[in-house]
Structure 1
Amino acid sequence: MSFDPILLMGGSGAIGHQTARAIHAIYPDVPLLIGGRDLARAQSAAAEMGDAQGVEIDTASADLGLGEQKVSAVVVLYKDHTLASLRFAQSRGVPHLSISSGIFEIAPEIASFMNAPAASAIVLGYEWLVGATTVPARQLATSFSQVEEIRIGALVDEQDTGGPTVAADFEHLNHLLPAALTLRDGIWLWREGEDAKATFSALDGTEINATGFSSIDVTGLAASTGARSVQFDLGQGVSSSRRKGGTLSTEIVLDISGLDHAGQALHTRHAVVHPGGAAPLTGMGIALLLERLIGLDGKPPVTPGLYFPWQILDASRYLAHLAQEGGQVVALSSS
């Protein structure tokens, strides 16, 4: 079966390269459009990726400057302040996945969906590394009859920069949202100042200084597990693998407390680790989302609606791909 090209807006950056790599590792014949404001750069990136074409994107145009070019999905790898990509996807009736908005600025996207709920599938892909937290956390939560608290500690290696686009998006988020949306004892609040400061133990036990981060993971996990307390803390420093003398990695520590299926207190700690850093793990999540959104796997495509990534991703398939790439979910001491 042939498919129209997938449009990767901002696809010439580090995450774009990793996304293209992840897609072609599973579906090597799926064509890609690498969209950017700089046509020469987009074409250069497309040439490196193979089975890809560089195109110039004009967000002031309703058709993004693509004319009659057909696409099977739109993926936005930077913060699209205009929502031109979403309007384009809805007008074409194709899925839309964006990964760079903050939890405080999703109202325009939700309004666009509410105005045309049957137009296309819209994925709020703002979970940390596009499913790398929520998919494993929800799988681990099956060991509990009742989840009381989920604490997430994400460690970004200081050498894992992700490129200028990622840096610009983080600067935008940090400038506008110094407080962190948190669920504490059933009450939603914004942590700021001293209350936003936190520490967590990395994979090797090193204490990491962190700050509360407003990730949409918090809302999705609270809604789907029933936890009364959920918080996300983000730290930057030396990853555990690099502290051992190896290369950088990305780590996500998942601390879950509640009751097991016998009604006894249960506390578990796990770390999600990927040896390539944040970009390849993000690319893997995007590729697996596209697989289902478009129906690359031969199954029916996802119907129009508004989705979290974890509502589309198959946990067993996701974790299998994580293992194939050398990543793992590691059980840690819960003491």
Structure 2
Amino acid sequence: MTLDPILLIGGAGNVGRQVSRFLREAYPELPLLIGGRDLASAQQAAAGIGNAEGVAVDLDAQDLGLGARPVSAIAIFFTDTTTAALQFAQRRGVPYLSVSPAMTEIGPDIAAYMHRPKAAPVILGTEWLVGATTIPALEFAKTFRRIDTIRIGALLDEQDEGGPASFDDLERQTQALPAVQARRNGAWVWRSGDDLETRFRAADGAMLEATGLSPHDVFGLATVTGAPNVEFNLAIGVSSSRRRGEPMSTEIIIELEGEDQAAQPLRSRHAVTHPEGQMPLTGLGVALLLERLVGLDGKPAVRAGLYFPYQLLDPAAYLERFTQAGGRILELDVR
């Protein structure tokens, strides 16, 4: 299968390098364009990937500074406040994937899609670690007849370096935004002030101070499961592995409450972990989405539409690659 290059805007950063690694391992001949504002950095990153080229991307230019150069898909790893990359993808009719803007920031992207809904696939990829939360949660949900409550607790180790773009995103979404959304008793509410502060238990049982966040997982999980209570909380501190004297890791605690298939009360608690932190799972999710979007997995390329990642990724295929990449899922005691 011969494809035009996939353009990774911000591809010289930590997430972009992980995406390139996963794509290169699976598809040695797949051409990549590593795009960035700093041409030298993009070229340096491309040189270490193989069959890749570094290019300067200008978000103030309608053609992104690429001229007539063809691309087969675009992924962008920071918030594009101009929507230039999305509109470029729509004009070219190629898939567009962003993994940065919060739900409160995607109005421009939604407007661009609504005006040209048949132009290209548009993926709102700001799920926590791009699939590593919602896909396992939906698999756990299959044992329930009814789900009343979903609580997600994400733990980022303070030693987990996400890079400048990731830091900016996290700072913006946890400090600049005065409130986040959750679902309570079937209604969407804003959490603000003291309501943002909470606690949850890490995989090893340690109690963590956390603050509310509302990545796209909150909205997707509530919609798919119908759960009347859904919330997401983030803790930054010492991961369970580091408390054991091991290197840092990342973990996602997924708690479900409801009824089993026999209408009896049921609670479950799992941890999704990776020993190298947040970046490998984020990179894996993006790489698998790009594979799916352009049909590298042998299935037809995705048609124009507006999607969340979990709507495109096959759970079994995702979890297999997740395990191969070093991810682990642990069943925890319910407390």
Question: Normalization by structure 1: what TM-score?
Answer: 0.98
Q: What 5-or-longer segments of structure 1 have no aligned partner?
A: none
Matches of 2:150 and 2:310 in 1, distance apart?
Answer: 16
The alignment partner of 2:299 has SS state of: coil
Q: Deviations over 1:252-294 (max 9, x none)?
A: 0000001111111100000000111111100000011111100
1:180 to partner: Cα distance? 1.7
On the 8 A contact 2:153/2:234 being kept in 1, the answer is: yes
CA distance in 2, matches of 1:76, 1:18: 13
Read off the aligned partner of 2:301 and give its amino acid letter: P
TM superposition shift of 1:176: 3.1
Amino acid corresponding to residue 228 of structure 1 in structure 2: P
After superposition, give the CA deviation of every residue in 1:151-184 in whole Å (9 maximum; x if it has no partner): 0000000000211121122223234313120001
Aligned to 2:180: 180
1:232 aligns with 2:237: no
Deviations 1:198-253 (A, max 9, x none): 11110111111100002111010000011000000000011111111111111000
Q: How big is each residue's C-alpha offset from its partner over 1:3-46, in whole Å with a ceiling of 9 and x where there is no partner?
A: 11110000111111111011112122111100011101110011
Number of the residue aligned with 2:160: 160
- Counterpart residue identity of residue 132, structure 2: A
| Equivalent residue runs for 1:138-149 within 5 Å | 138-149=138-149
CA distance in 2, matches of 1:25, 1:267: 39
Paired amino acid for 2:110: I
User: Aligned letter for 2:286?
Assistant: I
What does residue 323 of structure 1 align with? 323
Match of 2:269 in 1: 269
- Asked if the contact 1:292/1:301 (under 8 Å) is kept, the reply is yes
1:306 match: 306
Determine the C-alpha separation between the residues in 1 that align with 2:117 and 2:165: 30
The residue aligned with 1:295 is 295
Structure 2 CA distance, aligned partners of 1:249 and 1:80?
Answer: 29
Residue equivalent to 1:116: 116
Post-superposition Cα deviations, 1:25-72, rounded to whole Å, max 9, x if no partner, equal: 212211110001110111001111221100000111111011111111
Alignment-mate amino acid for residue 192 of structure 1: S
Aligned pairs, how many? Answer: 335
Partner of 1:283: 283
Secondary structure of the corresponding residue to residue 55 of structure 1 = strand
Question: Structure 2: which 5+ residue stretches go unaligned?
Answer: none
Alignment of 1:50-65 (within 5 A): 50-65=50-65
- Equivalent pair of 2:156/2:250 in contact (CA under 8 Å): yes
Partner residue in 2 for 1:98: 98
Partner SS state of residue 296, structure 1: coil
Give the Cα–Cα distance (whole angstroms) in 1 for the partners of residues 252 and 328 of structure 2.
Answer: 11
- Cα distance in 2, alignment partners of residues 102 and 14 from structure 1: 20
| Contact 1:179/1:214 (<8 A) preserved | no
The DSSP-based 3-state class of the residue aligned with 1:200 is strand
Within 5 Å, which residues of 2 pair with 1:14-33? 14-33=14-33
Q: Which amino acid aligns with 2:178?
A: P
